[in-house]
Structures are given as structure tokens and as C-alpha cells.
């Protein structure tokens, strides 16, 4: 079928719309084939194709009928094994012919002439003339049964005893159903395209309605909203101005408090503190070195003399006690005076 085209595309392209209308109405059929097929060569091609289609369909139906006419292989049961083998209603040559004829019909072109002649001269094909009446009866019954099934599918409301009367009308009925299905498929595609176009129109109108609603709300409440927005912007500017004023005052205070003389004094004091820290570190290192000479180690390193360290610690404690007693005696003397 021809691909559908959206209505908006046709409206926005008038020249393409005219071309599309000409193609779909005057040149092409709904299935995409051309309407100008009345030439002699086209009719001959169609006739030749119809002949080949009919021949292929007949061959396929004949092979299918012969294949389905062959009875299934009988299942071997316990009773059958104990007794005599079950006899089939068909003679063995006819049964062999039913089993071998369908592959021959479908693959005859693949066989060489010698193989085909040898096969046809061997049983059961050598007895084909004798078996042909029974074979024709079986194939006819099978085709009749298949035709009745097609008639039942095409005429489901008809009584089963009258289905054989509708066999001749099955091809016409199938052709009518196929044409109706194609037309309905094309109508469905057009309906889908129309629904899509209607949906686009509906969405456009919905967008227009929303735009009108927004404009109405802006006309009704836009002044208040703009006033609040301007008020908020004014408050934000005032806050920024206050922040800048506070920073200015802070820098002015710093400038008044930290005069150049104060900054020089603080800088000198910082240098003095750093120099004092350096002297303290040097004095601490000298004291540690002196204690190390006496065998006292302040850190966890090995190499000190525990006995000498304990003795000097006792001397230091005794010296501290003596100094404390001297201080107490001086305080007592000062009170007595």
C-alpha cells in the first residue's frame, strides 16, 4: 500500500500535495501498482505469471494431497507383538507409491535423466498405470475433504450437510476477504493518520488555551507580582549597601586603631618574641646537654647511666627541700623582726 502522508505536510507544501493527489488518484493503485497496465507486454507478462502460479499451486496441492493420503505408520503394541502384524487397508504397492511420490514431485528437477528413468522403471512406479485408479480415488477424497474444511471455515454458519455446495465459491470468497482486509488495512492507516492530525490540532488548541489563561492571570495579578518583585529587589540592594557600609566602618576602625606606630611596635614585639623563643630553645638544648654529661637523658634514647641519674635526682630533690626550708626560715625571721 501507499505510505500515508500527514495532513500538516500536505498543507505546508501545496506543490507536493498536488503531486501526491495525482499519484494516488490517477497513476497508482492503493497497493502501489500502476494503473497504466493495459499494454500488450504487460498483459502477456501477467498471463505468463498466472500460468506459472497456477502450475505451481496445482503441483503443491497434488503433493500435499498425496502426502496426507498416506496413512501414518502403525504403532507396535504389546498385543500386536504377541499376535500377527496388523494389516493395512491399502495394498503395499499403493502404500509405497504414496510414500515415494511426494518427494519425487517436489525434487524431480534435481534428479538426472538416468536416475529418473531408473526410478520410474522400478516398483512401485512401474505399476503406476495399475495403481492410478486407486491413487486418484484417494487423492480426490483428500482434496474433497480439504475443500470441505475450507468451505466450513469460509461459511461457519452453514449446515455441515450443505457445505459441499459452497466449495465452488471458496476462491471467490477468499478473494473477497483478502480485498476487504487490504481495504480495511488501508482505512485503518488513514484513520490512524487522521487521529494523529486531530491530536496535533487538539494539542495546539490546548496550548492556545493555556496561553490565554496565563495572559489572563498576568492581567489580573501581574501588577501585584511586579510590585513584590521590585520591593524584594529594593530590600536586597539595601542589604548589600548595609554590608558594604559595615565593611567600610570595620576598615576605618582598623585604620584608627592600628596606626603606623602601633604596627611598627607590634612588628618589633613579634621579632622580640621570636628571638626569645630561639634563646629558650638554645638554653633548653644546653641544659639537656649538661644533664647528659651527668647521665640524665630526658628522651627515650639509650646511653644514660641509671645509677647516676637516680643519684642526681635525689640530690635535686634534697636541694629543693633545703631551699624550701631556707625560704621558710627567712619568712620566720621576717615575722620575728
Residue-wise pLDDT tens for the chain (337 aa)? 566 777 777 788 888 888 878 877 777 776 667 776 666 677 778 888 888 888 888 878 777 777 776 655 555 444 444 444 443 477 777 777 777 777 777 776 777 777 777 777 777 777 777 777 777 777 777 777 777 777 777 766 666 666 666 677 777 877 888 888 888 888 888 888 888 888 888 999 999 999 999 888 877 777 777 788 888 999 999 999 999 999 998 888 888 787 888 888 888 989 999 999 999 999 888 888 877 776 666 655 555 567 777 777 788 888 888 889 998 888 888 887 6
DSSP designation for 24: I
Which helix (H) or strand (E) is 329 found in, with range?
A: helix 306-336
Q: What is the pLDDT of residue 237?
A: 94
Q: What is the pLDDT of residue 244?
A: 93
Compute CA distances 205 → 16, 21, 199, 208, whole Å: 27, 28, 10, 5
Q: Which residue has the cell 504389546?
A: 78
Rounded Cα distance between 67 and 98, Å, is: 7
Q: How far is CA 232 from the centre of its chain?
A: 47
**Beta bridge pairs of residue 34:** 28
Rounded Cα distance between 101 and 119, Å, is: 11
Rounded Cα distance between 93 and 120, Å, is: 14
Q: Which residues of 245-268 are buried (b: 16+ CB within 10 A; e: fewer)?
A: eeeeeeeeeeeeeeeeeeeeeeee
**Residue 64 neighbours by CB under 8 Å, 6+ apart:** 102
Model pTM above 0.85: no
Amino acid at each position: 500500500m501507499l505510505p500515508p502522508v500527514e495532513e500538516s505536510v500536505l498543507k505546508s507544501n501545496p506543490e507536493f500535495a498536488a503531486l501526491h493527489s495525482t499519484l494516488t488518484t490517477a497513476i497508482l493503485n492503493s497497493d502501489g501498482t500502476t494503473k497504466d497496465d493495459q499494454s500488450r507486454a504487460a498483459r502477456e507478462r501477467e498471463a505468463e505469471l498466472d500460468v506459472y502460479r497456477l502450475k505451481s499451486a496445482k503441483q503443491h496441492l497434488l503433493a500435499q494431497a498425496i502426502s496426507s493420503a498416506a496413512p501414518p505408520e502403525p504403532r507396535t503394541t504389546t498385543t500386536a507383538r504377541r499376535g500377527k502384524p496388523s494389516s493395512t487397508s491399502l495394498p503395499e504397492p499403493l502404500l509405497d507409491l504414496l510414500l515415494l511420490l511426494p518427494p519425487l514431485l517436489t525434487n524431480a528437477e534435481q534428479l538426472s535423466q538416468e536416475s529418473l528413468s531408473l526410478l520410474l522403471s522400478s516398483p512401485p512406479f512401474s505399476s503406476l498405470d495399475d495403481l492410478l485408479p486407486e491413487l486418484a480415488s484417494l487423492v480426490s477424497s483428500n482434496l474433497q475433504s480439504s475443500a470441505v474444511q475450507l468451505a466450513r471455515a469460509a461459511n461457519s454458519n452453514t449446515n455441515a450437510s450443505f457445505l459441499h455446495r459452497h466449495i465452488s465459491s471458496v476462491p471467490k470468497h477468499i478473494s473477497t476477504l483478502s480485498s476487504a482486509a487490504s481495504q480495511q488495512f488501508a482505512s485503518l492507516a488513514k484513520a490512524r493518520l487522521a487521529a494523529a492530525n486531530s491530536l496535533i490540532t487538539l494539542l495546539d488548541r490546548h496550548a492556545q488555551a493555556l496561553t490565554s489563561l496565563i495572559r489572563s492571570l498576568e492581567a489580573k495579578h501581574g501588577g501585584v507580582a511586579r510590585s513584590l518583585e521590585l520591593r524584594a529587589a529594593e530590600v536586597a540592594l539595601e542589604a548589600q549597601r548595609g554590608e558594604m557600609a559595615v565593611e567600610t566602618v570595620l576598615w576605618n576602625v582598623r585604620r584608627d586603631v592600628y596606626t603606623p606606630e602601633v604596627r611598627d611596635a607590634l612588628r618589633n614585639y613579634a621579632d622580640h618574641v621570636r628571638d626569645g623563643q630561639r634563646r629558650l630553645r638554645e638554653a633548653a638544648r644546653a641544659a639537656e646537654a649538661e644533664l647528659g654529661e651527668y647521665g640524665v637523658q630526658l628522651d627515650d634514647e639509650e646511653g644514660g647511666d641509671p645509677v647516676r641519674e637516680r643519684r642526681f635526682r635525689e640530690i635535686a630533690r634534697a636541694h629543693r627541700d633545703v631551699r624550701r626550708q631556707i625560704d621558710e626560715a627567712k619568712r620566720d625571721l621576717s615575722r620575728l623582726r
